[in-house]
Structure 1
Amino acid sequence: LVLAFAFFLCFIMSTRSYVYLQFVQQWPPTTCRFSGKPSNNRRPLPIFTIHGIWPSNYSNPRMRSNCTGSQFKKILSPRLRSKLERAWPDVESGNDTKFWEDEWNKHGKCSEQTLNQMQYFERSHQMWSSFNITNILEKASIVPNATQTWTYSDILSPIKAATQRIPLLRCKGNPQRQAKSQPKNRGKSQPKSQATTQLLHEVV
């Protein structure tokens, strides 16, 4: 299943530093397939995992990054660490703590006026638990399949219904049109016979 999901969950804040948190989930087999990093030799998890939670603004769609603020501290409780090891693993290199550190230092600090480091990671896990993309798609019978393809609207509809947001699907060209175990997305306006098969990569 070649998917990495990012969808917007809006939180209106008193500070003007950002308006909403962009919550990004990824499909590990896809991330590993397109990664330029050495494999960590672990079988990719067959569930959607967190890539990050990024403070953003409507006036500037690019997520805020590299803000001033407190650097990452290894203060996560053992209980929270255990949860994040499943929900937010480093699927490319296997160094979970370094992945969390990079995400906090690049994006998390931008939310520090509202969420401190502990709250930032707790909120991320809460959002992952509340919006389980794996289950949403499975309930719509969208699962890895060697031959089945889905249209843009097939994938968008169940996510929209569950999150009450309209996601934008981003796809990557399929290097192997008939690659096994890859759910595919056809251009939404093309007939089946003429559609170009692409691999769903992100939902924004």
Structure 2
Amino acid sequence: MSRIVLPAMAGLSFVSQWALGSPLSSGFLSSLPGLLDISAREATISSSCGTSGQASCHNTTSVSNLCCFEAPGGLLLQTQFWDTSPSTGPSDSWTIHGLWPDNCDGTFSENCDSSRNQNDITSLLQDAGADSTLDFMKEFWVDINGNDESFWAHEWNTHGTCYSTLRPTCLPSGSPDGTDAVAFFQTVVKLFKTLPTFTFLQNQGITPSSSKTFTLSQLENALTAEAGVKPALTCSGSNLNAISWYFNLKGSIIDGQFVPINSPESSSCPSSGIKYPLKSGSSSTSTGTSSTPTSTGTPGSLPSKATVHAIRSSGSTTGGLLSLGTWSTQTLATYTLSGTASSFTMTSSKGSCGVSSGKFACGSGVTSTTFSAISSGSNLLLASGGSTTFSSDGVPSGSTVFDVFSGSSHSQGYTLSIVGS
């Protein structure tokens, strides 16, 4: 992707600020439970920098400790793709491009330290015990040509080696070789989880379509309403295909406080007639958020990969299942289904899925349950013990999630629709 030189950053105001692991606001923080969960499982790296210092690009005096102050690349871009030809990633999520450290004046450096290049990111993360980060990357950080490993290596070698706060001398004493790269990938994944672009647009009534078009103002206003800051959108012709979210940073890239800012770059899309195309396997053709999702494939057939959506008694869809098996309105998990519609097992990135004492859950310690799928109109409904009824103690919104129970013994009832991805 080409890079654009940006204007000087003086005079930018802070819209909000938050740290990886310290929720301070809604909007950008709608997915923080997942972020905190991944931190608890595998975060073993600490910068000891704190977040009380000056934000990058906003210092008024020279800063000597560049282990705790990102410079010169203090303008951070979290970039995402919406790939449709061919499609990459889940049909209801954008995918990761990278996290780039541009200079405060809009210039940038690349390939800053070839001695720290990595070419086997999978082994690096596995050896570091960062398996959940790797699992997430396999689903949400994917290359359009199928060369994920090369893509990940490129992002680290080209951009990651340019972070001053990730220099080996800034890491805890005794850190193994490659710890800097492990910290980079963990941070990129954590940050991406707080930026559910698909959900942001969906919450404002904008979903992929084979026929609808949108104005640039519609898209930008929708994203600003959800996140509190305006990102930069990129189009290929009239097709929406990329987005950049901008930040300054207080502290280290490892565990610092990201300060979201309005994009200093103008979107490259036309002012109107913008298409938000469907990914392969998508079924939505409207801009509403209340329509019932339609399963892909032959009615009654079982997809091998799917998201699970919650359909309430009114017929409206309200979120669906996360990877732990909880009900949420955040970006849904992709499940692997093994078997046939009459008898199959489910797994998520967390592990096997099952129902125990009436509670649905997924994880490494969960005993797998055999489920079935029952056709109902255009939907393929998940059934446990032959019943398609599930219930919870409340309706999720924002970062609030609820446990899922089989049957109707809890106050909020719904069915779960299997939507192929």
What TM-score, normalized to structure 2? 0.35
* In 2: Cα distance, 1:80 partner to 1:107 partner: 19
Of the three residues 45, 56, 75, the one matched with 2:124 is 75
Of the three residues 156, 162, 170, the one matched with 2:220 is 156
| Matched residue type, 1:126 | K
Distance 1:159 1:66, change over 3 A: same
- Using the TM superposition, give the Cα deviation of residue 121 of structure 1 relative to its aligned residue in structure 2, in angstroms: 0.7
- Show CA shifts across 1:25-67 (max 9, x none): 00121xx35xxxxxxxx765322000111011221x2443111
List structure 1 segments (4+ residues) > 6 angstroms apart after TM superposition.
none
* In 1: Cα distance, 2:157 partner to 2:89 partner: 25
Pick the structure with more strand per residue.
2
| Partners of 2:215 and 2:274 within 8 A in 1 | no
Per the alignment, residue 99 of structure 2 pairs with 53
Of the three residues 93, 109, 112, the one matched with 1:64 is 109
* In 2: Cα distance, 1:164 partner to 1:123 partner: 21
Pick the structure with more helix per residue.
1
What does 1:1-204 align with in structure 2 at a 5 Å threshold?
Answer: 12=56, 14-29=69-84, 32=85, 45-46=90-91, 47-59=93-105, 61-68=106-113, 70-72=116-118, 74-76=123-125, 77-90=130-143, 92-111=144-163, 113-114=165-166, 116-174=180-238, 187-188=270-271, 197-199=273-275
- Using the TM superposition, give the Cα deviation of residue 187 of structure 1 relative to its aligned residue in structure 2, in angstroms: 4.6
- Using the TM superposition, give the Cα deviation of residue 149 of structure 1 relative to its aligned residue in structure 2, in angstroms: 1.5
- Show CA shifts across 1:178-199 (max 9, x none): xxxxxxx9854xxxxxx6x344
RMSD of the alignment, in Å? Answer: 3.0
> Which structure has the larger Rg over C-alpha atoms?
2
- Using the TM superposition, give the Cα deviation of residue 165 of structure 1 relative to its aligned residue in structure 2, in angstroms: 2.0
* In 1: Cα distance, 2:88 partner to 2:103 partner: 36
Tell me the SS of whatever aligns to 1:25.
strand
Gapped runs of 5+ residues in structure 1? 1-8, 34-41, 176-184, 189-194
| Matched residue type, 2:140 | A
Q: Which has the higher contact order (CA 8 A, sep 6+)?
A: 1
| Partners of 1:22 and 1:54 within 8 A in 2 | yes
Tell me the SS of whatever aligns to 1:141.
coil
- Using the TM superposition, give the Cα deviation of residue 200 of structure 1 relative to its aligned residue in structure 2, in angstroms: 6.6
- Show CA shifts across 1:51-101 (max 9, x none): 111011221x244311125111541132221111112112x2212222100
Gapped runs of 5+ residues in structure 2? 1-15, 18-54, 57-67, 168-179, 240-267, 278-421
* In 1: Cα distance, 2:81 partner to 2:276 partner: 11
| Partners of 2:200 and 2:227 within 8 A in 1 | no
- Show CA shifts across 1:114-171 (max 9, x none): 3721111111111111110011011111112222211111100121233322223333
Distance 1:171 1:43, change over 3 A: closer
* In 2: Cα distance, 1:80 partner to 1:166 partner: 28
> Number of residues paired by the alignment?
165
Tell me the SS of whatever aligns to 2:124.
coil
- Comparing 126-135 and 93-102, the one that deviates more: 93-102
* In 1: Cα distance, 2:69 partner to 2:163 partner: 12
Tell me the SS of whatever aligns to 2:78.
strand
* In 2: Cα distance, 1:44 partner to 1:118 partner: 22
| Matched residue type, 1:95 | N
